[in-house]
Amino acid sequence: MLIRVLFPLLLLINWSCQKEPNSSLSPLQNILEQWESIPGNTDYLGSSYVSAGDQLYIVGHQNGQFPNLGWHVQGEMGGIWQHPIKLMDAYAFQISNHEQTVCLDQAVQFSNYPLGSKQDFQLSSLGLSAELYQIVAEGEPAAIIEIHLHNQTQQAFDGLLNFTGISDLRPVWLGARTNMLDQQDSSYFDKTLNAWIAKDQSNPWYAIWGSSLSPTGNQSSDCHTEIQGKIAQGGNNYAIQLERGASMVAQFYLAGSSKSLEEAQNTYLKTKTQVIQLIEEKAQKFQNLKNRSQVNLPDSKIQEAFTWTKYASEWLHFEVPGVAGGIAAGIPDYPWWFGCDQTYSARGLVHAGMPELAKRALESLVYFSEKNNGTGQVVHEVSTNGAVYNPGNINETPHFIASLWEYFQWTGDEELLRKAWPMVKKGLNWLESKDLDNNGYPDGHGMMEIQGMDAEMIDVIAYTQEAYAAAAQIALFLGEPLLYQDFQKKAEILQKKINTEWWVDHENSFADFRASRKKASSLLDAAIVRADTLNKPWSVKDLQAAKDALNTGNSNTLEPYAFYHNWVVNTPLETGAADSSKALLALRTAKRFTNPYGVYVTGIDRKKAAQDLAAFAALKAKEDFNYTGAVMTLPTGVQAIAACQYGQMDDALDYLQRMARSFSYAAPGSMYEVSPDYGMLVQAWNIYALAKPIVGFFFGIQPEAQHQRINLRPQLPSDWQNASISQLPIGDNLLSMEIQGNRYKIKQRKDWELRFYVPKGTQSVQLNGVIVAINTAYIVLEGKENSLELSP
């Protein structure tokens, strides 16, 4: 233990003796530099980054500043968070000699790693350069910041390094609902810990920050800006002496607790004395994640986006002891749990080799929904203190049921299925109670949170049909045949009605909603005002034509309308409920509502002049992009899945390529919620948008883990001749597949039944070198390794 306690100080002494900068790596660097990294776009140094663990994360700007960020708690969504509390607004580094002082807040380069991040600084006036590394621990609410200083001159440097922390111990959004009330912070320097301790005066909330170095004095710097709230601060000066060309390394530590000083102190001491162990544990966790569902694709951009979206999903994995765990919706403004985000994400996570996180997401929804509602209704939004903001929109309950079934098919997790089954049955009853006119369609808000869009919504209906079909299969598996028959019949009836009562023939599209003509007229008026306000004359013209053609009499007959062309009109294609003839027409229509980065959330908001990258760039330079008129990753991913469902793999690839253009556009290693650079800088449902089309359709992997069976229907886009996926978890099995033209190599860890579905037009199949007869739609592969060669 003595060696670990002394290690950081010994590291500083040894590095101070180095004559050449970067002549070797610190242990932290040595771990980090073994990983891939992505340098940021220097045009976006003034935008956000996140370094995260499962109990703490840091949000600041890539240039090293910590400005006020976000709107849920105005200006407070950045900084250092240990949910359900915020610990600190910021930390700041300052370096001075006898003549001047420089703040480390103007980085010239930001780089992101799966494990953390790095900022590079050129301190020319001092003759120094510097790097800051940030790594947040896993399983502990703690972070390590390592600074590297290099003397770039031929003269010795004698000066001071200052590290200052600014606490802002305050509750998460909706804190008052659980009696979490923010009070003034106070801080003091603890000589035993050699660190600053801050406390909220009325709550057992603590933040601790310090260093391995011994300070020469306590002094706060003036480098931080835009600080607000009931803060406290504390800083130290540390003497620096660097011979010409020499370098040094020093580490700083952050820790906290929402429960007690003792817990905060223990975490701080563990972090300070076990730095390398903590980082190695994090590296091992991410190595396991990287190895799972590892893809090799002809499109390097999509491959990189797929891999890093797995990392980003883990960045959004929050464990809040005593509350829950799961995947948060997005950072910085939605760092808590949502019904829709977790159900979409769970379906992507299983395709990406992350079933444990998918399980945590679904478990948390069962827990919060039963605790808050008890009716089977799935919650919409829950803060990390357990406070439920919205008990649930209509779409989330059926989507949860379908997600639960898909999770079960991938994992065979009968325990969770049985635990959630009573809620599933209650949820379908609750859905039926929302059918206000008894026509088979629940009424209320779905994914589109547009004023007045609370009629019968297409995504609610498409996901309800999918939920009945899923619930029928659950009932069959759990031995309830009467319920199976009931749910299966309802699924079949609803699928037929979707294709007859929701299709708008003159639009070649499914409807946004069904409503009376009076209701439709009011929504159409609102759409015209929206399009006119957004200066979309082409949309106003189309909407006005629809207005002129609309019979606005007093008829109460409900009819389908496609005015907005919201992305949800494609959900019957996403679920596979649409008839093929209608689906192919709708896929063609959907192409009208895209830009180079994907699919518009609301079609009438499309920017007519932005159909290629050059036009989009010119337009973006002049217009303010925001949530109105947005292109988002989820609609784009849904459209890719919709194309896959109907065999349009080239179109699906086109949507994935559009989406991938926003990868690392502003935040290296991530895709923004709104493409290419607005909203949340990391977003949970991106894993669904990428992983399901690639793994579930391009590789065609469709498991039935409950039967120890895997169905294989690979269908690559025409431009892709070679691709592979390895170590994909399915239940307790691992599957790998390599495709080279018409040749397939398939391996599995267990001896499960593999059904390889033979593509139409195949003339012959060689299985392990022997020609086999094609008598059925699929060939059964036996054993752990198989090779096939198809002759078209």
Band (pLDDT 50/70/90 cuts) for residue 18 is very low
What local confidence, expressed as pLDDT, does residue 604 receive? 85
Q: Which of 263, 286, 309 is the last residue of a domain?
A: 286
Q: Residues 145, 93: one domain? A: yes
pLDDT at 626 over 80: no
Please name the residue that has the structure tokens 């603590």.
206
Per-residue pLDDT averaged across 424-446, rounded?
94
- Residue range(s) defining the domain that contains residue 641: 292-516+558-696
Burial 9-23 (b: 16+ CB within 10 A, else e): eebbeebbebeebee
Question: Is the domain of 34 the same as that of 121?
Answer: yes
Tokens 């988002």 identify what position? 632
Query: Is the per-residue pLDDT at 9 higher than 50?
Result: no
How many CB atoms sit inside 10 A of residue 139's CB?
Answer: 13
- The per-residue pLDDT for 480 is 98
Exposed, middle or buried, 121 (CB in 10 Å: 0-12/13-18/19+)?
A: buried
Strand 785-791's sheet: what is its strand order? 294-296, 722-730, 733-740, 743-748, 785-791, 764-767, 770-772
What gap in Å lies between CA 472 and CA 24, rounded to an integer? 61
| pLDDT recorded at residue 4 | 30
Q: Which of 641, 662, 696 is the last residue of a domain?
A: 696
Give the integer Cα–Cα distance in Å for 725 and 303. 11
Residue 548 lies in a domain: no
How many C-beta atoms lie closer than 10 Å to residue 312's C-beta? Answer: 27
pLDDT value for 624: 60
Note the residue count of the chain. 792
Beta bridge partners of 743: 740, 789
Distance, CA of 160 to CA of 123 (rounded, Å): 14
Of 87-101, 136-150, 165-179, 547-561, the one with minimum mean pLDDT is: 547-561
Residue 553 has pLDDT above 90, yes or no: no
Task: State what percent of residues in the chain have pLDDT above 90.
Answer: 81
Residues 311 and 255 in one domain: no
Segment 256-267 shows an average pLDDT of: 98
Quick one: pLDDT band at residue 282, thresholds 50, 70, 90? very high
SS3 of 438-486: the string is CCCCCCCCCCCCCCCCCCEEHHHHHHHHHHHHHHHHHHHHCCCHHHHHH
| pLDDT number for residue 261 | 98
Same domain flag for 703 and 679: no
Beta bridge partners of 145: 134, 252
Residue type, 627: Y
The reply to whether 239 and 158 lie within a common domain is yes
Q: Are 671 and 683 in contact (CB under 8 A)?
A: yes
Instruction: Specify if 553 maps to a domain.
Output: no
Compute the distance between CA of residue 591 and CA of residue 242 in angstroms, rounded to an integer.
61
SS3 411: helix
The pLDDT of residue 609: 53
Tell whether 528 is covered by a domain: no
Residue 542 counted as domain residue: no
CATH number, domain of 125, equals 2.70.98.40
Round to whole Å and give the CA distance between 435 and 398. Answer: 14
Asked if the model's pLDDT at residue 249 lies above 50, the reply is yes
pLDDT at 17: 33
Residue 530 covered by a domain = no
Looking at the DSSP assignment, which residues form a beta bridge with residue 146?
A: 133, 251
| Percent of the chain clearing pLDDT 70 (strictly above) | 94
Query: DSSP character for 334?
Result: B
Give the 3-state secondary structure of 658-676.
HHHCCCCCCCCCCCCCECC
pLDDT at 621: 58
Instruction: State which amino acid sits at residue 348.
Output: G
Asked if residue 523 belongs to a domain, the reply is no
Q: How confident is the model at residue 625 (pLDDT cuts 50, 70, 90)?
A: low
Q: Based on the structure, what is the number of domains in the chain?
A: 3
- Report, as an integer, the average pLDDT of 186-198: 97
Task: Read off the tokens for 124.
Answer: 């020319």
CA angle 758, 762, 767 (to 5 degrees): 60
Question: How many whole angstroms separate alpha carbon 160 and alpha carbon 475?
Answer: 69
User: How much is the pLDDT for 516?
Assistant: 85
User: Mean pLDDT score of the chain, rounded to an integer?
Assistant: 92
Are 618 and 718 in a shared domain? no
| Band of residue 618 on the pLDDT scale cut at 50, 70, 90 | low
Q: Measure the CA–CA gap between 699 and 728, rounded to whole angstroms.
A: 11
Class of residue 726 by CB neighbours under 10 A (exposed 0-12, middle 13-18, buried 19+):
middle
List pLDDT tens digits, range 325-344: 999 999 999 999 999 999 99
* pLDDT for residue 116: 97
368-408 residue pLDDT tens: 999 999 999 999 999 999 999 999 999 999 999 999 999 99
Q: How far apart are CA 524 and CA 551, in angstroms?
A: 12
Indicate the residue among 647, 678, 696 that finishes a domain: 696
CATH number at residue 408: 1.50.10.10
Residue 703: strand pairing partners:
710
Name the residue among 178, 187, 200 with its Cα closest to residue 86. 200
Same domain, 433 and 377: yes
Contacts of 534 (CB under 8 A, 6+ apart): 605, 628, 629
| Confidence (pLDDT) at 5 | 30
Query: Would you say 111 and 202 are in contact if contact means Cβ atoms under 8 Å apart?
Result: no
pLDDT band at 16 (very low <50, low <70, confident <90, very high): very low
Place of tokens 């395709």: 351
CB 547 within 8 A of CB 532: no
Long-range contact pairs involving 183-191 (C-beta distance under 8 Å, separation at least 24): 183/230, 184/230, 184/232, 185/230, 185/231, 185/232, 186/232, 187/232, 187/233, 187/234, 188/234, 189/218, 189/234, 189/236
How much is the pTM?
A: 0.94
| Whole-number Cα distances in Å, 244 to 123, 154, 158 | 15, 5, 11
Task: Please compute the mean of the pLDDT values over residues 48-64 and round it to a whole number.
Answer: 97
Looking at the fold, whether 379 and 485 belong to one and the same domain comes out as: yes
405: in domain: yes
571 in the same domain as 437:
yes
In the predicted model, what is the mean pLDDT of residues 771-785?
92
Together in a domain, 724 and 675: no
The reported pLDDT for the residue numbered 277 is: 95
What number is the average pLDDT over the span 127-134? 97
For position 611, what pLDDT does the model report? 60
The DSSP 8-state label assigned to residue 272 in this structure reads H
- pLDDT at residue 11 is higher than 50: no
Residue of 452, 476, 351, 449 whose CA lies nearest to 407: 351
Q: What is the CATH number of the domain that holds 737?
A: 2.60.40.1180
509-532 pLDDT per residue, tens: 999 988 888 888 888 888 888 888
List the single range of 10-24, 165-179, 193-207, 695-709 with lowest mean pLDDT: 10-24
Alpha-carbon gap, residue 282 to 447, rounded angstroms: 36
Rounded CA-CA distance 180/395 in Å is 31
Query: What DSSP element (H or E) covers 91?
Result: strand 85-96
Do residues 385 and 175 touch, judged by C-beta distance below 8 A? yes
pLDDT at 524: 84
pLDDT at 14 exceeding the cut of 60: no
φ, ψ (nearest 5 deg) of residue 711: -95, 135
* In-domain check, residue 247: yes
**pLDDT at position 535, please?**
81
Residues 391 and 453 in one domain: yes
Count of helices and strands (H, E) across the chain? 19, 43
Q: Do residues 687 and 725 share a domain? A: no
